[in-house]
Amino acid sequence: MQKKNHPVGKTTQSFLKLSEIKNDTVVMEDGSLRAILAVSSTNFDLKSQEEQNAIIFSFQGFLNALEFPIQILMQSRKMEIGNYLEKLKHIAEKQTNELLRVQTAEYIEFINRLVENASIMNKSFYIIIPYGQSILPKPSGFFSRVFGNGKAKEMAERIDNFEKAKEKLDTRVESVLANLGGLGVRGVRLKTEEIIQLFYNSYNFEAGPAIDPTQLNEIKIIS
């Protein structure tokens, strides 16, 4: 009896239009670069009318000051509070004050009921900064291909192009980070492993808010 061939699911990498992730930078298939900033948030609704107007005005100034496009990304994910509740349980068990122990237990029960009846979402904000000039080398000439030194030359040119383009991208990152201060928010550039984790979580949404750092070595996104 002939066995049926089950279709093999596509890997996460097959959906990503990127070549590699290195030096805290995403290299796209077309050779352009991307930097990703994680940005803090502010509770706009709790601000006074004057404060809200000031934030809007500052944000307008932030956008007008940009000399290049950016992408603003927001991710909503159900908050994982299991570890937090476990810590509270350990604290309650070690609590010698009976009143505090009871209050801690009641608080744990309240949080459990709250999570059961409502989805508590954690929102994360990111700014993606591009640099559009391709780092891909020009195709090798006929003689380079014949005598076999084309590959090495292309690799050296690609590395040199990457370093030059990254310097210009870094300048853009510094500019955005400086201007974010006027909005009252903080930003930090994601490092290589943090970028890989962000992509992993984005395409494996049910996997949880984070992955084991020891798994990062097993996730290869290379050209």
In a structure prediction context, what are the per-residue pLDDT tens digits for the chain, which is 223 residues long? Answer: 455 555 555 555 566 778 899 999 999 988 899 999 999 988 888 889 999 999 899 999 999 989 999 999 998 877 777 888 888 899 888 888 989 989 999 998 988 888 777 777 778 999 999 998 776 665 544 444 444 455 666 777 778 888 999 999 999 999 999 999 888 889 999 999 999 999 888 877 665 554 444 443 443 333 3
Q: Is residue 154 part of a domain?
A: no
User: Is the overall model pTM greater than 0.85, yes or no?
Assistant: no
How far, in Å, CA of 25 to CA of 63, rounded?
Answer: 23
- Boundaries of domain holding 105: 80-119
Nearest to 33 by CA among 187, 153, 172: 172
Q: Is residue 153 part of a domain?
A: no
Whether 33 and 130 share a structural domain: yes
Whether 98 and 203 share a structural domain: no
Q: Tally the domains of the chain.
A: 2
Whether 68 and 115 share a structural domain: no
Phi and psi dihedrals of 114, rounded to 5? -65, -40
| Other C-beta atoms lying within 10 Å of the C-beta of residue 189 | 19
How far, in Å, CA of 100 to CA of 94, rounded?
Answer: 11
Q: Is residue 156 part of a domain?
A: no
Whether 33 and 74 share a structural domain: yes
Q: Hey, which bits of the chain come out as E strands?
A: 18-22, 25-28, 33-39, 71-78, 121-131, 187-189
Length of the chain in residues, anyone? 223
Residue in the block written with tokens 């999570």: 115
Nearest to 165 by CA among 22, 67, 65, 62: 22
Whether 132 and 211 share a structural domain: yes
Boundary residue ending a domain (60, 90, 119) = 119
Whether 74 and 130 share a structural domain: yes
